[in-house]
């Protein structure tokens, strides 16, 4: 059995859903999931669909070509088709914080994440034993002011060599360059230790403590050239009070970061995220 996921967005108009579902039925497909959304302000139609094909003659490449030359052209669609047989390849970028790394590798090891991790890149050696323990290749690429361009070239070489589909910054404490972002648009996922947009900077929990906030949060988003301003994929919050110390806030925040980042990775991997005008449409 072949299973595909189809993502579509285009100008809203009548007959889109009927045309797509009839097309799939004609090609021998059985739709097992379908959801749609219309952005009334932008007049844009979004749809996510999963379909199974049991006919022996079906190929994903052939279906893509046929869809491209018929419906996609007729409705002027932006579209993507993914086969369930292909697991996306994720590269992990890390520094010294280990909580998100442990969480993602634990989920990966248990089979919770439907992806491959060909390697881990870090600008420090501190977390190499964790990568070794999970038997994932670890590449130490130091980054300094004078070696940033050289380091980036090494990163890109590894990414291209292993045909990486997307990158996760699991508390990677370096600013990603414009060149890397342009190579992976809406394919670099970051976890920010704050409920954006608020309390930006290196110590958001300290800022939150000083303000006496009652809620702290974490935000996972795609990386864009504007720092911490990319399309938001997932967010989480936790209630706090005046009885919590800074260390309590940090501990609660790290728990949130792990969960929010893992959820964002799963949403991206399961092809449930669509980006339009720096916003996301999430099909849960």
Per the DSSP assignment, residues forming a β-bridge with 222 are 189
Q: Are 172 and 155 in contact (CB under 8 A)?
A: no
Cα within 13 Å of Cα(124), Cβ side: 12
Spatial neighbors of 80 by CB under 8 A, at least 6 apart, are 6, 7, 271
The full length of the chain comes to 284
From the list 228, 248, 255, 270, the catalytic residue is 228
Query: In angstroms, rounded to a whole number, what is the distance separating the alpha carbons of residues 160 and 82?
Result: 20
The answer to whether residue 228 is catalytic is yes
Burial class (CB in 10 A: 0-12, 13-18, 19+), 29: buried
Spatial neighbors of 116 by CB under 8 A, at least 6 apart, are 87, 88, 89, 90
SS3 22: helix
Query: In angstroms, rounded to a whole number, what is the distance separating the alpha carbons of residues 142 and 128?
Result: 13
- Strand (E) or helix (H) holding 282: strand 279-282
Q: What angle do CA 81, 84, 88 make, to 5 degrees?
A: 85
Q: How far is C-alpha 250 from the chain's CA centre?
A: 24
The residues annotated as belonging to the active site are 228
């Amino acid at each position: 059995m072949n299973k595909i996921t189809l993502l579509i967005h285009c100008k809203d108009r009548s007959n889109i859903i009927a045309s797509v579902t009839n097309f799939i039925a004609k090609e021998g497909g059985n739709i097992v999931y379908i959801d749609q959304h219309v952005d009334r302000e932008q007049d844009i139609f979004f749809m996510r669909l999963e379909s199974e094909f049991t006919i022996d003659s079906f190929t994903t490449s052939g279906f893509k070509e046929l869809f491209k030359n018929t419906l996609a052209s007729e409705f002027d669609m932006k579209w993507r088709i993914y086969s369930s047989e292909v697991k996306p390849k994720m590269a992990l970028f890390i520094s010294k914080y280990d909580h998100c790394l442990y969480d993602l590798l634990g989920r990966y090891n248990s089979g919770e994440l439907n992806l491959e991790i060909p390697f881990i890149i870090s600008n420090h050696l501190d977390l190499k034993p964790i990568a070794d323990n999970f038997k994932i290749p670890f590449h130490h690429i130091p980054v300094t002011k004078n070696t940033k361009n050289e380091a980036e070239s090494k990163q890109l070489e590894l990414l291209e060599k292993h045909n990486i589909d997307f990158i996760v910054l699991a508390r990677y404490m370096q600013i990603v360059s414009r060149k890397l972002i342009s190579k992976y648009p809406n394919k670099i996922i970051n976890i920010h230790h704050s409920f954006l947009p608020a309390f930006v900077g290196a110590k958001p929990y300290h800022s939150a403590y000083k303000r006496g906030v009652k809620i702290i949060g974490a935000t996972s988003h795609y990386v864009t050239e504007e720092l911490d301003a990319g399309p938001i994929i997932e967010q989480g919050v936790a209630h706090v009070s005046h009885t919590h110390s800074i260390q309590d806030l940090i501990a609660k925040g790290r728990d949130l970061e792990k969960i929010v980042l893992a959820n964002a990775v799963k949403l991206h991997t399961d092809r449930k995220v669509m980006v339009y005008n720096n916003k996301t449409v999430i099909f849960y």
